[in-house]
Amino acid sequence: MCGVTGLFTNRLSDPGTLTEQVRRMMAPIAHRGPDDSGLWIEPEAGLGFGFRRLAILDLSETGHQPMASSSGRFVIVFNGEIYNYRDLKRDLEQNGVGFRGGSDTEVILAGIEQWGIRDTVGRLAGMFAIAVWDRRERSLSLIRDRLGIKPLFVYRKPGLVTFGSEIKALVAGPEFDREIDVDSVAQYLRYLYVPAPHSIYRHVSKILPGTIVTIRDPAAPFPQPETYWSINDVAIRGLANPTTDSPEEALHELEALLTRSIEQHMIADVPLGALLSGGVDSSTIVALMQRAATRPIKTFSVAFDAREHNEAPEAARVASYLGTDHTEVLVTGDEALSVVPKLPDMFDEPHGDISQIPAFLISGVARQHVTVALSGDGGDELFGGYNRYVYGERILKRARQVPRAARQFIAAGIGVLSAEEWDRAHEVVAPLLPRGLKHRLPGDKLHKVRRLIRSDNVASMYRSLISAWQQPESVVRGTNGREDEFGRMLLSERPARLLHRMMLADQLTYLADDQLAKMDRVSMAVSLELRVPFLDHRVAEYSWRLPASLKVRDGTGKWLLKELLYRLVPRELVDRPKQGFSVPIDGWLRGQLRDWAEELLRPEVLARDGLLNPDPIREKWNALKNGRSEGALAMWSVLMLQAWRQRWTA
């Protein structure tokens, strides 16, 4: 895992200037690669590559980047890991190709010389963001892995293209226009992230997952991406050709695929471990890791002093059963709060997913012991784990059958009580309820239902479940209401079933732009390589061939994955309501963070440069201070935006 950056320009630059420009771009991403750095320039082409290395495979000099191919035609900078590189290396050696070292980077280059860029990328299994310079064709290819595990940003102005693993590298480039994309701000306030290919800046875009962009002239319009793999196409093909396996056979196939993926993800020349929350996804990964290992694997969790936000006891029980070498660190509220000032620098594009805080803390714990950690990210998206998949489809269908006036009446009734008041009422009657009606944070779920039934169509109904601000256009001035992938997917006719459209919409945007972006930044901030075995593309392809009944069954998600886990770990250790990383953000904003928030939310600060409308923000802020927690996430998104603006645009 590393950091890459570079530039391609037709503006005349002498070698010294070009070298200095690349060095400046490398400096802000040094945390991504503390072990080594490298630089390569071709002044006559106006091209420069910069690299920061976190050494994982082949720790010797033969793994140094930028790296040139054996013929000298191709030069590469590469961030990520290729898990099937040994298989590819054997294929190349059988064709007479020799190797100097043992890095996966050298295998990629040898493949490009043997098979070409497009065919080589199609053979790679792993996570990667790659820049390849073809010295003969004078072309720069920018490549991103299939599911968007590794980031790659591009800044474009006539005569100049810069790229990098993080936007801060582009900010340090020869020039940088800080004009904000107003529509991106609105989308961020809705989703807590900016959906690709856009970014918070008008002149910065994200290379889309599964694509290659080939640039031959930095002065020409930016080329259209070439798609080499598409989760949308995978979904359509998989649903058209579902597996005919029995549940038992499907379970066996899933186990084999995950086992192969995990064994390949465990290849490293440095200490390796896993993040363990005690939930289904991380417990499955750890159980299969331990089965494949010859000694206790290292596992890590953080314990929080707030009981309702603490999964550490469950993680400890799973670790004890599996016999892992487990490390648990207690984190106080003050220690968690100390992360907040670091977030705007860590996330150089606004990111409002509050789980960024515990994710950063557990990454820091792991980094004290290992250089590589595996996580369970992706399990929910591939196997139907989110509660909104389970009850969303059912409620959406029923809600559409109820007249709008009746839905508005029911929504108004739910809104009479705050989420906290519903929680207190539920605590009174919970002992009398059957297990299926006992929920964690029932008030929050009821208010989600309230938002859902007030919506007009399926797209807006589902979007209400995942929106921090239901109407961000009331908060952001000048937005054009740009259409997004969520709306397009949910209103499309393919896939035919709503459950599949919900899952595909999440895989197209939320997975890469929220979950994976978050984990990349927090892990790289402490120089930890994070690997995600669920997101091996072969596992993803098989998941779309599974019938819906093997994902969502009897009111529960991830049915098949849970059946696999129950073979590895006693059911009672992992069978509990879904929790995930969470923090008491509403209490923090009313308490220790109140002064910080008040400063960022002063009307004159909100009104600076006319981007935001202070009135709805102040209204929600006052409601939160008065005890209504439903707006906590919306307020957090504004605060992260304001803190980001203070750091990057002031």
What is the pLDDT at residue 159? 96
Are 82 and 24 part of one and the same domain? yes
Beta partners for 9?
A: 160
**Does any domain span residue 414?**
no
Are 605 and 564 part of one and the same domain? no
Higher local confidence (pLDDT), 638 or 628 = 638
Contact indicator for 255, 565 with CB cutoff of 8 Å: no
**Sign of the alpha-carbon dihedral angle for 64, 67, 71, 72:** negative
Rounded-to-integer distance, Cα 620 and Cα 618, Å: 5
607, burial (CB in 10 Å: exposed 0-12, middle 13-18, buried 19+): middle
What is the pLDDT at residue 430? 46
Lowest mean pLDDT among 170-179, 286-295, 580-589: 580-589
What is the pLDDT at residue 630? 78
**Does any domain span residue 410?**
no
Higher local confidence (pLDDT), 284 or 13 = 284
Rounded-to-integer distance, Cα 500 and Cα 238, Å: 11
Mean pLDDT across 95-114: 94
Q: What is the residue type of 168?
A: K
The answer for residues whose C-beta is within 8 angstroms of residue 364's C-beta and 6 or more apart is 526
Rounded-to-integer distance, Cα 298 and Cα 385, Å: 26
| Per-residue pLDDT tens over the stretch 531-569 | 999 999 999 999 999 999 999 998 889 999 999 999 999
Are 538 and 611 part of one and the same domain? no
Instruction: Out of 229, 250, 277, pick the residue that ends a domain.
Output: 229
Instruction: Out of 204, 229, 254, pick the residue that ends a domain.
Output: 229
Beta partners for 131?
A: 77, 142
| Per-residue pLDDT tens over the stretch 318-337 | 999 999 999 999 888 889 99
Contact indicator for 134, 73 with CB cutoff of 8 Å: yes
pLDDT band per the 50, 70, 90 thresholds, residue 305? confident
**Does any domain span residue 503?**
no
Contact indicator for 159, 219 with CB cutoff of 8 Å: yes
Tell me the residue range of the domain where 626 lies.
584-650
What is the pLDDT at residue 303? 87
Mean pLDDT across 275-292: 96
On the question of pLDDT at 392 being above 80, the answer is no
On the question of pLDDT at 427 being above 80, the answer is no
Which domain CATH number covers 302?
A: 3.40.50.620
Domain count within the chain: 3
Which tokens hold the place of 4? 């890459």
Instruction: Out of 205, 229, 253, pick the residue that ends a domain.
Output: 229
pLDDT band per the 50, 70, 90 thresholds, residue 433? very low
pLDDT band per the 50, 70, 90 thresholds, residue 61? confident
Are 206 and 318 part of one and the same domain? no
Are 252 and 281 part of one and the same domain? yes
On the question of pLDDT at 7 being above 80, the answer is yes
**Does any domain span residue 413?**
no
On the question of pLDDT at 30 being above 70, the answer is yes
The answer for residues whose C-beta is within 8 angstroms of residue 229's C-beta and 6 or more apart is 122, 146, 210, 537
| Per-residue pLDDT tens over the stretch 455-476 | 666 677 777 778 899 889 999 9
What is the pLDDT at residue 442? 59
**Does any domain span residue 434?**
no
Contact indicator for 284, 568 with CB cutoff of 8 Å: yes
Q: Provide the 8-state DSSP code for 44.
A: G
360-384 b/e with 16+ CB inside 10 Å = b?
Answer: bbbbbbbbeebbbbbbbbbbbbbbb
Neighbours of 117 (CB within 10 A): 21
Rounded-to-integer distance, Cα 493 and Cα 629, Å: 37
Backbone phi, then psi, for 142, in 5-degree steps? -110, 125
Higher local confidence (pLDDT), 139 or 576 = 139
Phi/psi region, residue 609 (left: phi>0; alpha: psi -120 to 50; beta: rest), is left
On the question of pLDDT at 436 being above 50, the answer is no
Which domain CATH number covers 214?
A: 3.60.20.10
Higher local confidence (pLDDT), 410 or 502 = 502
Are 164 and 131 part of one and the same domain? yes
Are 542 and 590 part of one and the same domain? no
Q: Provide the 8-state DSSP code for 123.
A: H
Contact indicator for 174, 464 with CB cutoff of 8 Å: no
User: Mean pLDDT of all residues in the chain?
Assistant: 90
Are 561 and 611 part of one and the same domain? no
Place of tokens 């071709």: 42
**Does any domain span residue 18?**
yes
What is the pLDDT at residue 556? 87
435-452 b/e with 16+ CB inside 10 Å = b?
Answer: eeeebebbbbbbbbbbbb
Rounded-to-integer distance, Cα 68 and Cα 47, Å: 14
What is the pLDDT at residue 435? 47
Are 186 and 238 part of one and the same domain? no
Are 11 and 85 part of one and the same domain? yes
On the question of pLDDT at 520 being above 80, the answer is yes
Are 207 and 294 part of one and the same domain? no
169, burial (CB in 10 Å: exposed 0-12, middle 13-18, buried 19+): buried
What is the pLDDT at residue 481? 80
**Does any domain span residue 421?**
no
**Does any domain span residue 455?**
no
Rounded-to-integer distance, Cα 352 and Cα 144, Å: 24
The answer for residues whose C-beta is within 8 angstroms of residue 91's C-beta and 6 or more apart is none
Neighbours of 268 (CB within 10 A): 15
Are 591 and 567 part of one and the same domain? no
pLDDT band per the 50, 70, 90 thresholds, residue 434? very low
